[in-house]
Amino acid sequence: MERTFVMLKPDAVQRGLIGEILARIEAKGFKPVAMKFMRIPKELAERHYGEHKGKPFFPGLIEYMTSGPVLVMVWEGENIIAAMRTMMGATNPQNAAVGTIRGDFAQQTGRNLIHGSDGPESARREIELFFNDYELQNWSRSLDPWYIE
């Protein structure tokens, strides 16, 4: 099973979309491994978005990501990284398909509700940034055979 990092950004929290988004992820059959409701410290936000440092939008991105609480999570499932990227929709909500989280709920790239890892290495890096080993749960669900052969 693959794991991925997912974050509901400040706009998702402020707009009351946590339950709606979590319900979509659970209904798909993915399993939560860790969740934490937090306000990201500036230094952690800068490390998380380090690949964008020096770009014109970086200061605004950091200010936004530290402006309010977020829900950081680890989810597990078969091919979950690619599946979550599909469920999230295009980064620019104007290009996101109807039925995706961004396509249904977001209007602008700067307020696109959700972040998800884009590959196995970024998933590992992001999980390690936000969670300690003891916070990651290994557990079995009785429903798993109904989702995966």
Distance spanning both ends of the chain, measured CA to CA = 13
Active-site entry in 3, 31, 48, 115: 115
Mean pLDDT of 56-65: 96
Contacts of 94 (CB under 8 A, 6+ apart): 107
Q: Look at phi and psi of residue 8 and say left if phi exceeds 0, alpha if psi is from -120 to 50, else beta.
A: beta
The whole-angstrom separation of Cα 113 and Cα 101 is 8
pLDDT in tens, 3-24: 999 999 999 999 999 999 999 9
Q: Burial-class residue 16 by CB neighbours within 10 Å (0-12, 13-18, 19+).
A: exposed
Average of per-residue pLDDT across 56-77:
97
What pLDDT, on a 0 to 100 scale, did the predictor assign at position 104?
A: 98
For the chain, the average pLDDT equals 97
Q: Residue 132 and residue 28: Cα distance in Å, rounded?
A: 26
Residues 6 or more apart whose Cβ sits within 8 Å of residue 123: 2, 3, 4, 5, 81, 117
What was the pLDDT predicted at 34? 98
Is 48 labeled as catalytic in the residue annotation? no
- pLDDT above 90: residue 149: no
Mean pLDDT of all residues in 96-114: 97
Are the CB atoms for 4 and 84 separated by under 8 Å?
yes
Question: Which pTM value belongs to this model?
Answer: 0.95
Set out the domains of the chain in order of their start, with CATH numbers.
2-147 (3.30.70.141)
Is residue 85 over pLDDT 90?
Answer: yes
DSSP labels, 36-103: EEE---HHHHHHHTGGGTTSTTHHHHHHHHTSS-EEEEEEEETTHHHHHHHHH--SSGGGSPBTBHHH
